[in-house]
A and B are shown apart, each in its own frame.
Chain A
Amino acid sequence: MSDTASAQLNDHLRVPDFFGSSTGRVVTLVFMAVLLLVPVAAHFLGIRLQLVSLDFITRILCLAIAAVSLNLILGFGGMISFGHAAFIGIGAYCVGIPAYHGYGSAWLHFPLAVVASAAFALITGAISLRTRGVYFIMITMAFAQMGYYFFLSLEEYGGDDGLTIYSRSVFGIIDIEDKMVLFLLTYACLVAAIYSVYRIVNSRFGMVVRGCNSNEARMKALGYNTYAYKLTAYVIAGGMCGLAGALLGNFTTFISPDMMSWSRSGELMFMVILGGTGSLFGPVFGAVTFVFIEELLSSFTTYWALPFGILLILSVLFIKGGLNGLIQRGWKRD
C-alpha cells in the first residue's frame, strides 16, 4: 500500500462524534443538564409549577426512551413503524399484571417487559418486514391495534377501565415509590438508551441497518441477508420500548389499553420526526418539545389539537433534519 493509502487509513479510523458539531455538543449538554437539574432543583426549592415538576419531566423521559427506540428503526433503519406504542403498552402490563397477582419484584417486571416486547416485535416484525412502504406502515399499525383490543378484552385486568398498580416495582436497594428516585432511574435509563443506540448504529450491525435504509437492493447484492438484520433491529427497538413502558407504568401507576392506541404511536412518530430522524438526541428534543407544546396549548384552548398539528407539520416541512438539525447547524434553517 502506498503512503497516501496508509495516511488515509489512519485519517478515517475515527468514530462519528457522539454530540455532533461543536455547537451541537454545547447545546445538547446544556439541554440534558437542564432536563436533569431543573426538576431536581424545583423539587428541593418547593416550586409548584407543573412544567418543571418531577412528575411532568419523568413522563417526558419515559416517552423520550420510547422515541429513542423508535428512532433506531425509523430514523436509522428506515422502517416506518406506526405501531410502536404497542411496546409501551406491553411493557406497562408486564408491571401491572404481575403486580395485580402480588408479584412486585422489579427483577421480574423489567426483564419480563423487555422480553415480552421483544417477542412481540419478533413475531409481528417477521410478518411486517415482508411488506414494503405503505403496507409496512399499515400492518405495523394493525398489529398494534390487535394488541390494543387484546388488552381491552381482558376483563380480569380491568378491560377498557384500565388497571391500577397499588405499589411500584420493588428493586430492593432503591425505592421508586420516592418520585425523585424514579425520576433519576428514568433519566439513567434514557442516557443508557441513547448510548446503546450510539454504539449500535456505529457497530457492524448498525452499518448494515443504515445501509438497508439507504439502499436495500445494493445491500443484498453485497451479500447481506437484509431481512434478518432489519428484523433484529426491530426486535431490539421493541425490547427497548418495552423498558420505556415498564417505567411509564410505574410512573402513572395506572395502565390502560389507551397507552397503545394508534394515536399514541402517531405521537411517538411525530416526536422522532420533529426532533430529527437518525440523530442520537433528536428524539429527546422532539419528545420534550412535543409534550411541552401540547401542555401549553391545551391550557390555553380546548381546541389545541388543530393548531398543534399545523405547527408540527410546518416544522417538519421547513426545518431540515428536525430540531437536532437546527441545533447542529447553529440555528440555521438549512
Chain B
Amino acid sequence: MLDIQGLRKSFGGVVATDNVTMGIEAGELHAIIGPNGAGKTTLIAQLSGDLAPDAGHVLFGGKDITTVPTHRRSHFGLARSFQITSVFMGLSVIDNVALAVQAHDGHSFRFWQPATTQARLRKPALEVLEKVGLIDRAGSIASALSHGERRQLEIAMALATKPSFMLLDEPMAGMGVEESAAMVEILRSLKGEKTILLVEHDMDVVFALADRISVLVYGRIVATGKPEAIRQNADVRQAYLGEA
C-alpha cells in the first residue's frame, strides 16, 4: 500500500534517512523501532509530506506522492499523529476533533454560518471521542487536559479524517501505565481496520501488536520481519536491544 524507495534525507552532516527502502502492506500494523535519533520521526515526516526528501520516492497505492503537498496526502487517506503533542490548545476537545472532521467535509470557504453548532461536524466528532475514550472531556479546553488525554486527542484528530493509513509517532510517549494500557486497546481496535505505521519505544507493546517490525539505526533499516524473527535477530540485539 505504501512503498518507500531509496529515500534519503540529511541535515547538514547528519544523515537522518539513509537509503530507506521498504513496503507496508494494506491492513498490516507495521512497527518501526530504533534508538533515539535514529531518524524515525524524520521518516514519518517525509511520508506525511511535512519534509521533502533529498532523494528517493514515496508511492501510495501505486501512485508517486513524493512531491504531493501534505494537505493533499490527507485527502488520499493518509493521516499522521505527532510525537510532540500537536493539538489546538485554545479550542475545546470537541472543537479540535470537529476541525478535523471539517477538513474532509467539502471546502471550508463558508464564511457566515457558525461552525460550532453544526451537527454534521459535531456528531462524527463525538463518535471519534467515544472511540478513544475522551467523550467525558468533550467540552474541556485542550490546554486543560492531562498529558495522556492530549495524546488521546492527538489520535482522535487523526482518526476523524477517516484515514485508510495512519502514521503514528510514539502515541504513548510520556504516558503513565494505565493511560498506555488504554492506548494499546485503542490501537488494537484499529488494527485490521486501518493500515498503520507505528513508531514506538515500548517493546512489549510493539511485540504484542505488530504484524511486522522494521529496525532503524542511524537512518538505515537494519532488519525487517515478523516479531519472533526480530527478537531472534543478532544484529538487532546488538544494535538496539542492548545485548552483546
Contact = CB atoms under 8 A, between A and B. Distances in A.
Nearest to B112: A199
Interface stretch (A118-126, A215-223, A296-304): A215-223
Contacts of B10: none
Contacts of A206: 111, 115
Contact of B92 (A12, A13, A219, A222): A12
Interface residues of A, number: 37
Interface stretch (B25-33, B116-124, B188-196): B116-124
B79 to A, nearest CB: 7
24 contacts: A4-B135, A5-B130, A9-B119, A9-B122, A9-B126, A12-B92, A12-B116, A12-B139, A15-B114, A202-B116, A203-B115, A207-B98, A210-B88, A218-B87, A218-B88, A218-B157, A220-B50, A222-B99, A222-B100, A223-B74, A223-B104, A225-B69, A229-B108, A232-B109
Interface of A: 1-2, 4-5, 8-9, 11-16, 199-200, 202-208, 210-211, 214-215, 217-226, 229, 232
A200 B122 contact: no
B102 A4 contact: no
Instruction: Indicate the size class of the contact surface on chain B.
Output: 35 or more
Contacts of B49: 220
B103 A223 contact: yes
A206 B109 CA distance: 9
A205 B82 contact: no
A215 B87 contact: yes
Contact of B103 (A2, A9, A12, A224): A224
B9 to A, nearest CB: 17
B236 interface: no
A4 B88 contact: no
Nearest to A200: B111
Contacts of A215: 86-88
A214 B86 CA distance: 10
A221 B79 contact: yes
